[in-house]
Amino acid sequence: MPHFDAYEDLVGKWRWRLVAGNDRTVATSGESYDSHWHAMRAAEVVRGAAAAAQMSSVPADGVKDALGEIIERELTEAR
């Protein structure tokens, strides 16, 4: 079952991670925290925000939409 946990990093700070049902890490915190409790609290905030988040089909600024370019090229060549 997917779950969040917290772990101590190499410099003694705490980070959270999201572990999938197959025990693979699928997301990690981008920052470290002073305590296990603070890391888990941050994970709780992420969990709540992710549940309300919408998926975006638009690539982030500066990121090429490689799949879109391939589809456009294929459609152009098919014409």
Residue 58 in any domain: the answer is no
Tell me what pLDDT residue 78 has.
Answer: 74
Q: Provide the domain limits for residue 21.
A: 1-52
57/16: higher pLDDT: 16
Q: Closest Cα partner for 18 from 44, 54, 37? A: 44
Its pTM stands at: 0.68
What is the domain-level CATH number for residue 45? 3.30.160.160
Residue 60 in any domain: the answer is no
Q: Looking at the 3D structure of the chain, how many domains does it have?
A: 1
Residue 16 in any domain: the answer is yes
Please give the structure tokens belonging to residue 71.
């589809």
Residue 28 in any domain: the answer is yes
Please give the structure tokens belonging to residue 54.
């919408």
Dihedral sign from CA coordinates of 72, 74, 76, 79: negative
Residue 17 in any domain: the answer is yes
